[in-house]
Amino acid sequence: MKRQWTYAHTEMLLELYPVETIERTAEIIGFSRTTIKVKARKFGIVKGMNVEWLDKATVVRNNFDSHSFAEIADMIGATKTTVARIAGKLGLRRTRKENRHIRSRVRKDMVKREKRRVIFGFDPVTRIKVVTNRRRIRLRAELKAAGYIVERMANILYFKSEDCRNLNKENIASRHGLRFAPWPYEEEPLVNAI
């Protein structure tokens, strides 16, 4: 038998609909979501302002000029589409220059992350080519960790003494274009830059 809508249901609808979700209201009253929406429209009941949406809108408004949609979506725990919709409702627009600036910054950050992954020996996440010879970069990092002195922007690695050399790795590294020489100074180097 079909349930009848009563005055008590209307009272509960007036109380719950502005503050609860449609699903939760339907569950409490015991009718379908469609029925709840139809009755709310019939009685002129509207949803109250969603506090969660207002919080998300504040984050979007504050970060719209400096962050990409993906970054804002990560901040608020939503999708890029949700961020785009919120920005649209707030009337936020970006100029071409702002878009170009944000894309440039995001790409630089991505390249830096990829370089770090290559240096520490991890597989790349994106298809961005960040170094010309990944194996050589990785070997430089390994040899630096083993005690070799690496100069910035040079393919020469220095060793302090003959007994701390790793000839096996040196042979592999020399095939990749790295050269080795004894440390020409008496004192210890101040900076071991890669």
pLDDT number for residue 62: 96
Q: Residue 193 region, left (φ>0) first, then alpha (ψ -120 to 50), else beta?
A: beta
Helix (H, G, I), strand (E, B) or coil at 117: helix
Question: 3-state DSSP: the chain helix, strand, coil percent, rounded to 5?
Answer: 55, 5, 40
User: Are 31 and 68 members of one domain?
Assistant: no
Is the C-alpha dihedral spanning 113, 119, 120, 126 positive or negative? positive
Regarding whether 175 and 140 lie in a shared domain, the answer is: yes
Does residue 171 form part of some domain?
yes
Is residue 174 within 8 A of residue 165, CB to CB? The reply is no
Residues 33 and 55 in one domain: no
H/E run at residue 149 = strand 149-150
Shared-domain flag, residues 37 and 13? yes
Q: What is the pTM of this model?
A: 0.51
Whether 140 is in a domain gets the answer yes
12 lies in the same domain as 35: yes
Residue 127 within any structural domain of the chain: no
Whether residues 156 and 174 fall in one domain:
yes
Residue tagged 């249901």 (tokens)? 9
How many domains does the chain fold into? 3
Q: How high is the pLDDT of residue 82?
A: 94
pLDDT at 164: 78
Sole residue written with tokens 């100069």: 151
Consecutive 10-residue runs of the chain (194 residues): their mean pLDDT? 86 89 92 93 86 91 95 95 94 94 94 86 82 81 86 79 82 86 71 54
Query: Which run of H or of E encompasses 34?
Result: helix 33-43
Do 145 and 178 lie in one domain? The reply is yes
| Residue from 122, 119, 120 nearest 137 by CA | 119
128 is a domain residue: no
Task: Specify the pLDDT at position 186.
Answer: 66
Tokens describing residue 185: 């100074």
Q: Is residue 188 in some structural domain?
A: no
What six digits make up the tokens of 28? 């409490």
Domain boundary among 65, 93, 121: 93
Range of the domain at 165: 134-182
